[in-house]
């Protein structure tokens, strides 16, 4: 059996430890549950929108992405 060495296993361990510390607090667990539920609701809403009219949804997403790209480009120019 080979030993895994390197940075990746160390990073995975650090992330797992940080997650354990974070989720040990009930307030943090409640926040995480709320965030997951909010995300699920958004996904359901988007899925319904796609089923209803895929072309309109694609246009909406493209418009939103273009707007965000312009905002990011403006920020980069300022920096």
Q: Confidence band (pLDDT; 50, 70, 90) for 78? A: confident
> Residue 52 domain-assigned?
yes
> Residue 44 domain-assigned?
yes
Q: Which residues of 12-33 are buried (b: 16+ CB within 10 A; e: fewer)?
A: eeeeeeeeeeeeeeeeeeeeee
* Overall domain count for the chain: 1
| pLDDT at 1 > cutoff 90 | no
Give the domain range for residue 70: 7-78
pLDDT of residue 45: 95
> Residue 35 domain-assigned?
yes
> Residue 2 domain-assigned?
no
* pLDDT tens per residue across span 22-71: 999 999 999 999 999 999 999 999 999 999 999 999 999 999 999 999 99
Q: Looking at per-residue confidence, does 60 or 2 come out higher?
A: 60
> Residue 1 domain-assigned?
no
> Residue 56 domain-assigned?
yes
pLDDT of residue 2: 54
């Amino acid at each position: 059996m080979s030993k895994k060495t390197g940075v990746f296993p160390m990073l995975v361990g650090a992330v797992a430890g940080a997650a354990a510390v974070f989720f040990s607090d009930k307030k943090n667990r409640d926040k995480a549950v709320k965030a997951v539920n909010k995300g699920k609701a958004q996904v359901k809403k988007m899925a319904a929108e796609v089923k209803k009219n895929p072309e309109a949804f694609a246009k909406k997403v493209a418009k939103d992405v273009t707007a965000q790209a312009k905002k990011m480009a403006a920020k980069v120019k300022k920096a």
